[in-house]
Structure 1
Amino acid sequence: MLKTRSETATPAHPSLTVCGVAFDLLPEGAAWLRQERLLVVADLHFEKGSAFAARGVALPPYDTRATIARLETLVARLKPQTLVALGDSFHDGGAEARMDADDAARIARLSRALDWVWIAGNHDPEPPQGFGGAVMAELRLGPLTFRHEPRPAPAAGEIAGHLHPCAAVRVRGRRLRRRCFASDGTRMIMPAFGAYAGGLNVLDAAYDALLPGLDFHAWMMGGRTVVPVAAHRLEGD
């Protein structure tokens, strides 16, 4: 049975329980494990804009800066002891070389101010070493396993990213599509945190082996809160 709120949840920070562990879900797209003072983000994709620019796609080169600013705000507000970045933190192997020096310095200051864990992703199987922190293939914490790419069910306790989940729902005749957290209570797939990261609808076939059937919720991100929506209410793309 999916638990949608804990006794300590507030409207601004709804709580999702995964294998008995309660996460606060933040509208910025991060998950906060309050008891451990651990902040989780996924798919930062630093320097995606400059990677596209190198291929002739004109995008404003400010995605890294915008993503860092949101992270800095969360860290200043929550004061986490540990931050786990669930892979694809850097868009490709050349991201560090393309990065503005000030942006690189801001990432380094953040990563050295707390216990930072870079989980290796498919875009960054070997994250740059110049930013501090520890690089891991996955991190285990009690019943939880933090990794980049979700594995087929059952994968109890898995906290993963990679798929950039989003969801669509119709409200009063208006179709809303938002990034989301996806969970059936035994695992959670995190939304992408990066400013230029896209989204894959949770009803796409890519999720069939991860969240079988419609016994899950999409926790859709709004401007100031996160709202759980049952899978049977969702629309495909």
Structure 2
Amino acid sequence: MEHVRNGYGFDLAGARLVALPSGALLWPEQSMLVVSDLHLGKSERMARRGGALLPPYETRETLDRLAQDVARHDPGTVVCLGDSFDDLPAAHALQGEDVLALGRLMANRRWVWVEGNHDPGPLPFGGLQMAELPVRQVTFRHIAKPGTSGEVSGHYHPKASIRTRGAGVSRACFLIDRTRVVMPSFGTYTGGLHAHSDELTALMRPDALAVLLGPVPQPIPMPRGA
């Protein structure tokens, strides 16, 4: 794997990890790239259920951004940390070039699908499918378990706001403390939960950081609820 530039490096349970500008997480020692909450097929799922009709290009855009990280870092293992598809029918509805693009990404590397609440059942794309993935001192799961340590999870799509040039700007972010990481959503059509929400305030330690995505990830003290 190449030297990581413009990433935010930190330690978790003795593992040296890097938060990437894209919202992916890199574990160079394990040659591992981790992404969470791709929500592929979201526009198809919304149209199927009678929701808003969104331009049906988010799956390709998400896969293209993932392909850039895979090409840049050439990981031996890719871990998709749950809610990789917006629901199970959306996984089965993936077609054409999107299926081929996913197949190219999965070729010649270990690929792990961690189950999420949106995609808890078997997926039709091969790879390993697991409820959670322990790797040495770190456990990868979709939803955080309070009281655990050495955990990387997703689910909440955290975001935080900063003021720049007099205006508030909200960005997706990693939440990081000495015991856990909550990853941002990697998907194109996904919202987020503010870091100052009650759920995230209760989950993260008082000294937690929010590492905002951007060309250079920006760490700030995690905004807290009242």
TM-score above 0.5, yes or no: yes
Which residue in 2 is equivalent to 1:5? none
TM-score (norm 2): 0.93
Conserved 8 A contact 1:111-1:131: no
Give the TM-score normalised by structure 1.
Answer: 0.89
CA contact (8 A) 1:138 1:148 kept: yes
Which residue matches 1:229? 220
Shift of 1:141: 0.9
1:66 lines up with 2:66 in the alignment: no
Gaps of 5+ in 1: 1-7
2:151 equivalent among 152, 158, 178: 158
Cα 1:9–1:96 change in 2 (3 A) is closer
What is the count of residue pairs matched by the alignment?
A: 222
What are the ranges of 5 or more consecutive residues in structure 2 without an aligned counterpart? none
Q: Could you say which residue in structure 2 is the equivalent of 1:215?
A: 207
User: Would you say 1:191 and 2:191 are equivalent positions?
Assistant: no
Equivalent-residue separation in structure 1 for 2:34 and 2:196 (angstroms): 24
Displacement of 1:14 in angstroms is 1.8
Q: Report the 3-state secondary structure (helix = DSSP H, G, I; strand = E; otherwise coil) of the residue aligned with 1:209.
A: helix
Q: For residue 172 of structure 2, what is the amino acid of its counterpart?
A: R
The residue that corresponds to 1:137 in the other structure is 131
> Aligned-pair distance for 1:96?
2.6
Give the CA deviation at 1:235: 7.4
Gap change, CA 1:66 and 1:140, over 3 Å in 2: same
- State how far apart, in whole Å, the 1-side matches of 2:209 and 2:169 are: 16
1:28 aligns to what SS in structure 2? coil
C-alpha separation in 2, matches of 1:119 and 1:112: 18
Q: Spell out, residue by residue over 1:32-61, the C-alpha distance to the aligned partner (whole angstroms, 9 max, x if none).
A: 101111000000001001111221412000
Once residues 18 and 106 of structure 2 are traced to their aligned partners in structure 1, the CA distance between those partners, rounded to angstroms, is: 22
Does structure 1 residue 16 correspond to structure 2 residue 10? yes
Q: Counterpart of 2:169 in structure 1: which amino acid?
A: L
The percentage of aligned residue pairs carrying the same residue is: 41
Cα RMSD (Å): 1.6
